[in-house]
Structure 1
Amino acid sequence: MSKKKTMKCELDLFSEILHAYPSEGDRGLSNASLYERIADRAQLSPEDLNARAPVGESKQPVNLLKRRIRWFQQTLKHAGILERVDGERGVWKLTNPAGDGLRKINPGVSVLGFSTKLGLAILGSCDTVFSRLDTPIHLCVTSPPYPLASQRAYGNPNEGDFVDWLCRSIEPVVKNLVNGGSICLNIGNDIFISGSPARSLYQERLLLALHDRLGLSLMDRLVWHNPSKPPGPVQWASLNRVQLNVAWEPVYWLTNNPNAVRSDNRRVLQEHTERHLNFIRNGGIKARSSASDGAYIKRIGAYSTETLGRIPRNVLTFGHACQDQRNYKQFAKNVGLPAHGAAMPLSLASFLIEFLSRPDDLVVDPFGGSFSTAKAAEQLGRRWLSTECMIEYVLGASVRFKEFDGFGLSLNG
């Protein structure tokens, strides 16, 4: 069986187990009932469900399907996603609901979700994993949950708690950051004072807290221009008509040592336009001139040296939708898993990683989501570590890594 087909079977089975357990109340399932539900959902005959095959040197007949189900079940128990029903032996139920079919791993628990030769995807909360980590980190690229008034399915802190929450969450990352390492935070732009079209100042409070509490210096406020961003804020732009539609979000680039920062814009040079190349090759500036009361002086022959490319501006234009994201979402749908609804574009993560890190550096993402940072790091030859506390997101995102060297789905007990 091909790796792709094997992986789909594994995810199908894991999804069937998750969906077999009742999602409401205190009802649970015994193993016998679990087997029956999976057989019914997967349209398996009793013969298929109870089929045995010889295993090992002794050739002892074993029911491989039921054993596989128990392995997956053990992972869910270890992660705290299944718990025993009080007073009933061998009966288990789902715990820690997060909404929209999402299951959240218990605090303090972490398990390996999947891995490649370069990286690890951990099912666990960022504070649980990174507080135990003692490995040099070169770059963190992440998009934490925005402090929205209407919560996403995966949950998010409110605006008043956001600064304290985020500082606590990334403090273990900062402690392991190498000298001159960077942290890039993509945060929400459309956060308003309750009942008002005035924007919250939480962004400003966040920057001051990151500097004052964690010793980080601000390198830049990068503008992520998203041409495919939906119109909004709906309440204040479309309905009340007092705001403009927003087409960008901030990406804060911070470091623990500006004088040792590992960035290099030569790694992300962009192609010159034909018009600019012709200007260079024709000798650049032809006549001396000045502008802005002499602040800018153009000298004859300036800009006549051909370079490898042009330095990008700090307004980064990337649409949030791409074929890779569409494939991920379709695959998740096919196996009955919810896809992350606020994914970072692979192109944005790739740009930041190439600009701010070197091959074989360690890139981390404490809020994995759809694992765009991890995939970009993998493609660029960086080691990576990403954490995500929702089991469905870890399983769904694993499809994005199936073709990489050393891939293995590890949520199997």
Structure 2
Amino acid sequence: MSNQLDLFHVQRAYSLAQGPLSNDQLYQSVAEAAGLASDALNQRCEIGRAKAKRSPLKRKIRWYQQTLKAMGVLRKVEGRRGVWELAEPTDKGLHQAPGRVCLLAYSTRLGVAIWGDNNAVFSHLDEPIHLCVTSPPYPLRIQRRYGNVAEHEWVDFITQSLEPIVKQLAPGGSVVLNVSNDIFEVKKPSRSLYIERMVLALHDRLGLSLMDRWPWVNLSKPPGPTHWACVNRQQLCVGWEPVFWFTNDPLKVRSDNRRVLEPHTDRHRRLLEQGGDTRVTHYGDGAHRLRGNGFDTPTDGRIPKNVMIKGHRCSDSLRARAAAKRLGLPAHPAMFPTALAEFAIRFLTREGDLVVDLFSGVNKTGMAAERHGRRWIASEIILQYIKTQAELFSQFEGFWLNPALAVDSPDRTGS
């Protein structure tokens, strides 16, 4: 019967427990997960030279337990004999992958999601990356559940995180970063300059060129910064966040705005129908001229402005929150709309290119890549978030779920 058992059943037992397990509890949980008969654990046979009677099933479970320990996935609970727990819980009770552990969590025909530290995941990647789209943890004073980096450490943190990505970036590949504009100097209403330091560091340390800044205008953001805008009244409420676009080679950049053309406005269509703008005039001392034939050539669409006006609420965010609630997991508290990732992917990559996200959260980047025919790799260090991701990807072609994450949903383990 023991050949029905594998490493994933042991990992899943700790995953389901979301806390410490004694060996007796582990044995019972693994037997149930593997569909073994209730008396299988107590069946004994002679083992070793001493021919002592032992349970081969329990021995195999303990062997897998020690394998997970050696990988750094499990740790022993101090002061409790034979009691182990999964990974390292954060201060807020979430479980993050310890050390340089990397475990395949789920996959589709086009991509893979890995539970683990992003540096460990991408340091050994031997394939050209065409685009990285990510929203790293902000240097907030009040930390999110998943943890944050202090402002004075943030520039080092982001350059070290991106270094393995940049090393594998294809010529003309891009990095798109959504960061916070709402970081202030300590006890002052003046804004931090960490963004400016980040831009210079990515250029000076990693050789990235700044292609553009895309203001993400989100007028549905809650009022804030609370202290400086709503209490002291010294600031205005923040209504946008910066999105930065970098490349390793501006002369070979893979962008093409024809992939993101937007429909013409009603006014533009009317101009086309009447033969264009027939005015003959000039503005700005001749810098801008109308020669009587403006807007008279039909085109496939209008080139987008480099300002993104999008609310933070989107259908994928609602699905993610519903999935987390259904699984009894905490919802990710900071989700950007899928439309941001979709725009970057369409604009900066071609079908079949590789897109990555090193702080994937609920993996909006992977979702956008799936929908637009791009390959993708996503890493996420928090176990609870990667479980929620898997729920959202179950409808995509070739979906496979690590059995250790298949919480009460055996029908989602693959097709």
TM-score (normalised: structure 1): 0.84
Q: What displacement does 1:294 show?
A: 1.6
Instruction: Report 1:93-172 matches (<5 A).
Output: 93-172=85-164
In structure 1, the partner of 2:165 is 173
Shift in CA distance, 220/21, structure 1 to aligned 2, threshold 3 Å: closer
Instruction: Report 1:34-49 matches (<5 A).
Output: 34=26
In structure 1, the partner of 2:183 is 191
Find the partner of 1:356 among 345, 348, 368.
348
- Partner SS for 1:139: strand
Instruction: Report 1:278-289 matches (<5 A).
Output: 278-289=270-281
- Letter of the 1:272 counterpart: H
Q: Which runs of 5+ in 2 are unaligned?
A: 1-9, 41-57, 406-415
In structure 2, the partner of 1:8 is none
**Quick check: 376-385 or 285-294, which moved more?**
285-294
Instruction: Check the 8 A contact 1:366/1:386 in 2, yes or no.
Output: yes
1:328 correspondence with 2:323: no
- Letter of the 1:346 counterpart: T
Instruction: Check the 8 A contact 2:355/2:369 in 1, yes or no.
Output: yes
Shift in CA distance, 328/297, structure 1 to aligned 2, threshold 3 Å: same
Deviations 1:238-290 (A, max 9, x none): 11111111111111100011111000011011111222101122122212111
Q: What displacement does 1:18 show?
A: 3.7
- Partner SS for 1:280: helix
Instruction: Check the 8 A contact 1:20/1:38 in 2, yes or no.
Output: no
Instruction: Report 1:165-314 matches (<5 A).
Output: 165-314=157-306
Instruction: Check the 8 A contact 2:361/2:385 in 1, yes or no.
Output: yes
1:20 correspondence with 2:20: no
1:403 correspondence with 2:395: yes
**Quick check: 317-326 or 256-265, which moved more?**
317-326
Count how many residue pairs are aligned between Structure 1 and Structure 2. Answer: 382
Shift in CA distance, 71/149, structure 1 to aligned 2, threshold 3 Å: farther
In structure 2, the partner of 1:4 is none
Shift in CA distance, 19/407, structure 1 to aligned 2, threshold 3 Å: closer
Deviations 1:349-397 (A, max 9, x none): 1011100000000000111111000110111100000111111111111
**Quick check: 335-344 or 193-202, which moved more?**
335-344
Deviations 1:211-230 (A, max 9, x none): 11111111001111113211
Shift in CA distance, 287/86, structure 1 to aligned 2, threshold 3 Å: closer
Q: How well do the aligned residues superpose, as a CA RMSD in angstroms?
A: 3.2
Q: Which runs of 4+ in 1 moved over 2 A?
A: 13-22, 31-39, 47-52, 69-82, 84-91
Q: What displacement does 1:71 show?
A: 11
Shift in CA distance, 283/73, structure 1 to aligned 2, threshold 3 Å: farther
Deviations 1:304-330 (A, max 9, x none): 111111100000112111122111111
Shift in CA distance, 285/373, structure 1 to aligned 2, threshold 3 Å: same
In structure 1, the partner of 2:45 is none
Q: What displacement does 1:402 show?
A: 0.5
Q: CA–CA distance in 1 between the matches of 2:101 and 2:240?
A: 36
- Letter of the 1:145 counterpart: P
Q: CA–CA distance in 1 between the matches of 2:250 and 2:36?
A: 63
In structure 2, the partner of 1:315 is 307
**Quick check: 335-344 or 71-80, which moved more?**
71-80
Q: What displacement does 1:38 show?
A: 10
Instruction: Check the 8 A contact 2:113/2:379 in 1, yes or no.
Output: yes
Find the partner of 2:366 among 368, 371, 374.
374
Q: CA–CA distance in 1 between the matches of 2:116 and 2:94?
A: 14
Q: CA–CA distance in 1 between the matches of 2:70 and 2:263?
A: 51
- Partner SS for 2:130: strand
Shift in CA distance, 71/274, structure 1 to aligned 2, threshold 3 Å: farther
Identity of aligned residues (%): 51
- Letter of the 1:124 counterpart: G
Q: What displacement does 1:405 show?
A: 0.8
Q: CA–CA distance in 2 between the matches of 1:225 and 1:161?
A: 27
In structure 1, the partner of 2:38 is 50
Q: CA–CA distance in 2 between the matches of 1:137 and 1:188?
A: 25
- Letter of the 2:118 counterpart: C
- Letter of the 2:74 counterpart: L
Q: CA–CA distance in 2 between the matches of 1:163 and 1:135?
A: 26
Q: What displacement does 1:94 show?
A: 4.2
Instruction: Check the 8 A contact 1:350/1:376 in 2, yes or no.
Output: yes
Shift in CA distance, 381/77, structure 1 to aligned 2, threshold 3 Å: farther
**Quick check: 375-384 or 331-340, which moved more?**
331-340
Q: What displacement does 1:133 show?
A: 1.2
Q: CA–CA distance in 2 between the matches of 1:158 and 1:390?
A: 19
Q: What displacement does 1:76 show?
A: 6.5
Instruction: Check the 8 A contact 2:87/2:97 in 1, yes or no.
Output: no
Instruction: Check the 8 A contact 2:131/2:173 in 1, yes or no.
Output: yes
Q: CA–CA distance in 1 between the matches of 2:163 and 2:359?
A: 14
- Letter of the 2:117 counterpart: S
Instruction: Report 1:80-99 matches (<5 A).
Output: 80-85=72-77, 90-99=82-91
Q: Which runs of 5+ in 1 are unaligned?
A: 1-12, 23-27, 53-65
Q: CA–CA distance in 1 between the matches of 2:210 and 2:67?
A: 41
Shift in CA distance, 99/73, structure 1 to aligned 2, threshold 3 Å: farther
Shift in CA distance, 159/336, structure 1 to aligned 2, threshold 3 Å: same
In structure 2, the partner of 1:32 is 24
